Amino acid sequence: MKILFLCTSNIHRSRTAEDIFSCEMPQHHFKSAGLSEKECRKNGTTICNEEMLKWADRVYVFEAMHFERIKKHTGCMYIDKIQCLNIEDIYQYMQPELINLLHCVRSHLG
């Protein structure tokens, strides 16, 4: 399965998810990216594009606003494969509390 994690700037949440699950679930393929072009450009991180959305079997966003941003730019095309994790932007990369939250949603990954 191909899984894409999306947050605002691809610094902490989505990158942590990609890195921990890539190690823990090598049978799947993981990518991560940000949805704010401004933030990704400023931080030198990966910005999401439509090719990534096409590539993914499942897309996990961290906040409802991420879902809305995708819907605004692509319409309903990818809605069926998007799930919101509802994890706020208050964590640092690999912060133990973030990892614990991600492990709580691991069962959804397959």
Query: Please, what are the domains in the chain?
Result: 2-109 (3.40.50.2300)
pLDDT tens figures, 63-104: 999 999 999 999 999 999 999 999 999 999 999 999 999 999
For residue 53, give both structure tokens. 């959305």
Mean pLDDT of the chain: 95
pLDDT at 106 over 90: no
Select from 22, 47, 21, 51 the least CA-distant residue to 35. Answer: 47
| Global confidence as pTM | 0.96
| pLDDT score, position 75 | 92
Q: Where are the beta strands (DSSP E) in 22-100?
A: 29-34, 58-61, 82-84
CA distance 35 to 57: 18
